[in-house]
Amino acid sequence: MFEEIGTTTEGDLIINVGPQHPATHGVLHLVITLNGETIKKVEPHLGYIHRSIEKMCESLTYRQFIYVTSRMDYLSAHINNHACALTVEKGMQIEVPERAQVIRVIMDELTRIASHELWWGAMAMDIGAFTPFFHAFREREKINEIMEETCGARLTMNYYVPGGLMAELHPDFQKKVKEFIVLFKRKIDEYDELVTGNIIFINRMKGVGILSKEDAISYGCSGPAARGSGVNCDIRKLYPYAVYDKVQFDEILETGCDSLARYMIRIREMKQSIRIIEQLIDNIPEGDFQAKTKAVLKLPKGEFYTRVETARGELGVYIMSEGATTPYRIKFRSPGFSNLSALDHMARGSKLGDLVAMMGTLDLVIPDIDR
């Protein structure tokens, strides 16, 4: 059993953050051993929102299981669905029409911006600034409206199916996205004015939560958390999927290894996402939005693995098939779980107040960690 309350035999104080705590953004339970104000150990306890998604998927067909994955990392629901659709398409050897691929990339990047915006607002609120939250949600609302119009939902869209998309784009889609690009380019500079340049913010982030390049690799970190330490791990660049190999964008790398570096990565990534959308929005090719597929999908016997870059890092989907209509085994390699494992290493020796800043820059989504 874990020691969860009181003091240890060495006289250190044990405190519990969570499972219900506003700074953990979900039901994450951290057991922290403190020596005065200094953190000696952080032990995350998981399982409060475990829904056994992997086991559930084993009883669902290859069309049905995609919607469940929206509930893992709900802030990058589109990208999760993309990973699953790609794995099934890989197994079935379905050729996805060019039009569907381009729309998928636009949707993915819009999701990434929405996710980073929510993170930016919530992160600033953790640190103590309240206004940024409203600024972030104001712009995120525009993306939600675009999603609502085309996909019919604001968060758990389920717009991708094996072979393409579920429905045609809404006629207003291109117009709305262009309006959003113009608006967002103006607003992102305001974010820098409000938060990035702020002296209080910089003092709270700089040198906090150091994660060296070697540690980032050995803990299996991915996404902005690892790129802040200089690990180039962007799946969109390393193993391009969809049309990512045909668009121009930079992989953002920072070498600060601290919370500020991880913060800057996401701010700069939003600008790159806008750059990708700008290149594609006027060049959506004509054609079908869905490939012709069989009524019942049956993956051939074997193992299939694909990975994509979600807003939080690398998501891997592993399907083991016995040739039936349902998968024999599904495993998701979620980015949040690996990133959380580095928290203990980052937090040791630093002050309790800095823990919130570290957790904020890891961008933890608890349903993604627990699944």
Interface stretch with other proteins, choices 28-36, 146-154, 352-360, 362-370 (CB under 8 A): 146-154
* H or E element in which residue 303 lies: strand 302-309
- The string over 246-268, giving b where at least 16 C-beta atoms fall within 10 Å of a residue's C-beta and e elsewhere, is ebebeebbbebbbbbbbbbbbbb
Q: What are phi and psi of 8, to 5 degrees?
A: -85, 175
**Total chain residues near other proteins (CB under 8 A):** 30
Nearest CA among 186, 187, 182 for reference residue 132:
187
The single-letter code of the amino acid at 92 is M
Q: What are phi and psi of 7, to 5 degrees?
A: -120, 155
Burial of 293 (0-12, 13-18, 19+ CB in 10 A): middle
281 binds other proteins (CB under 8 A): no
247 binds other proteins (CB under 8 A): no
Angstrom distance (rounded) from CA 220 to CA 232: 13
> Please, which of residues 2-61 interact with other proteins by CB under 8 A?
60
Residue located via tokens 């990058």:
76
Of 196 and 279, the one with the shorter C-beta distance to other proteins is 196
Angstrom distance (rounded) from CA 110 to CA 150: 13
Of 170 and 271, the one with the shorter C-beta distance to other proteins is 170
Interface stretch with other proteins, choices 148-156, 210-218, 225-233, 237-245 (CB under 8 A): 148-156
Interface stretch with other proteins, choices 63-71, 263-271, 279-287, 312-320 (CB under 8 A): 63-71
- Under DSSP, is residue 195 helix (H, G, I), strand (E, B) or coil? helix
The single-letter code of the amino acid at 225 is A
Of 20 and 59, the one with the shorter C-beta distance to other proteins is 59
As given in the structure block, the two tokens for residue 112 are: 């990434």
Of 140 and 262, the one with the shorter C-beta distance to other proteins is 140
Q: Given candidates 50, 51, 55, 138, which one binds other proteins under the rule CB under 8 A?
A: 138
Q: Given candidates 7, 20, 52, 64, which one binds other proteins under the rule CB under 8 A?
A: 64
Angstrom distance (rounded) from CA 229 to CA 219: 12
Interface stretch with other proteins, choices 5-13, 62-70, 222-230, 326-334 (CB under 8 A): 62-70
> Please, which of residues 154-213 interact with other proteins by CB under 8 A?
156, 158, 161, 166-167, 170, 190, 193-195, 197-200
Contact residues for other proteins (CB under 8 A)?
Answer: 60, 63-65, 67-68, 131, 138, 141, 145, 148-153, 156, 158, 161, 166-167, 170, 190, 193-195, 197-200
